[in-house]
A and B are shown apart, each in its own frame.
Chain A
Amino acid sequence: MRRYGSPVFIWITIVCLNVSFLLPSALTAKEIVVAIGDSNTQADTHWTVYGHRNTVQGGWVTRLENLLEKDFPDEYKVMNKGINGDTAQGVLRRAQRCDSSTT
């Protein structure tokens, strides 16, 4: 009976509990979808003229993530890499920055 209260037993129990919490996320690594673009992708504001409005933060990216989650629960993570005002040159620079930081 005493051994169940021993520090070693408690330590093992804590480690096992922690591992059991970690395992599901490790076993179900999500596929990553990266959306790269400009303000049409970032969609961080609710632009409007005469009441025509986008009310969903993230625009098509958020909607895509919602659809994927509905049809493929826990399988995909969609990352919004839209930047307001960005151009093709900006996207290239971002790609090159990533490149140089890996070498």
Chain B
Amino acid sequence: MILLQPDIIIVAIGTNDIFTRLSTDPDSTPETYQVTIAKIFNKLQLKLPDTPVFTIGMTTSLRKYAHIRFGNFLPQQDIVEAVFNDYNNILRKLTEEYKFSYVDIPSQWPINVEESWKFCADGIHPNNEGYDLITEILYDALTSIVLYPEQKMKQ
């Protein structure tokens, strides 16, 4: 990603870190996630100091439906939600510390499992409606922070 010399970077990572955590892998903890994300951010800040970076918060997986395709590896829904909240808070906090922009998808995503399912393809990945919603929220963030000022200058 650094070699590409991007003008904008969007980082959306952590769902699989959460899954390994939920699978009780002792090496995968919120602390290791925090340290790793900080290393990524350090590198981006060092190598691409003028490039705006956006991070995308993760949407909670749905145990009730994920097991149909992925097997019954997720614990109870309230535990899943709590772990997603922990990791999203880490991502948000670090994003703010590094003066990047956190795109708060989770706060605009339905909390209710059945409502959330309308935006989900398989309990983990979004469907068309889910991707539409993510894109809409992300585009609003991009527009207000990096796209709109440029558009304004051209007018």
Q: Which residues of A contact B (CB under 8 A)?
A: 31-41, 43, 46-50, 52-56, 59-60, 63-64, 67-68, 71-72, 79, 81-82, 85-92, 94-96, 98-99, 101-102
Contacts and interface: CB of A to CB of B under 8 A. Distances in A.
Contact of B17 (A52, A79, A87, A96): A87
B148 to A, nearest CB: 10
B14 interface: yes
Contacts of A89: 17, 36
A39 B14 CA distance: 11
10 contacts: A37-B56, A47-B125, A53-B127, A63-B131, A64-B135, A67-B139, A85-B16, A94-B1, A95-B1, A98-B2
A7 B32 CA distance: 68
Contact of B9 (A36, A90, A92, A99): A36
Interface in B3-19: 3-17
Interface of B: 1-17, 20, 33, 36-37, 39-40, 43-44, 47, 56, 65, 68-69, 117-118, 120-128, 130-132, 134-135, 138-139, 142, 147, 151
Given A33-B6, A36-B12, A60-B134, A48 B1 contact: no
A37 B12 contact: yes
Nearest to A84: B16
B6 A34 contact: yes
Contact of A36 (B10, B16, B69): B10
Contacts of B3: 98, 101-102
A85 B39 CA distance: 20
A31 B7 contact: yes
Given A33-B10, A49-B122, A52-B117, A38 B15 contact: yes
Nearest to B27: A89
B121 A52 contact: yes
Given A87-B13, A95-B1, 14 more contacts: A33-B10, A34-B8, A36-B10, A43-B125, A46-B121, A47-B124, A48-B122, A50-B65, A53-B127, A60-B135, A82-B12, A87-B16, A91-B40, A98-B1
Nearest to B134: A60
Given A32-B4, A49-B65, A59 B40 contact: no
